[in-house]
Amino acid sequence: MNNIDRIPYAEIAPFIKIYGMLLKDGKLVSPRGLLINEIENANYILPPYIRFANFKARKLNLNYIKQEFLWYMKGDRYDTSIIEHASLWKGLINKDGGI
């Protein structure tokens, strides 16, 4: 049994639908040389009890989510302070200094 088998279906079902949309309608693009599957102008509705992907296998850090949200709300793509909370952002800085 892997971690995905332990997640209650009600918690993972909305994300399965999102991944299905991505597989069906997504386009392969390569920003920064990394191949990803992207959907533009998509939307989805999560049930009120699921605010974000927060299941045990993910080991979500709520303090990090708070910091990322506050950073995002600043709306400044040149604010690199998010790197203090998650080093993965360092690799996403563009040549112009923006994220």
Q: What is the pLDDT of residues 3-36, one digit of tens each?
A: 556 667 777 788 888 899 999 999 999 987 889 9
CA angle 87, 91, 93 (to 5 degrees): 110
Token pair of 98, please? 């923006």
Cα torsion 68, 73, 50, 17 to 10°: value is -90
Q: What does the pLDDT look like over 61-80, one tens digit per residue?
A: 889 989 999 999 999 999 99
Residues 10, 20: Cα–Cα separation, whole Å: 16
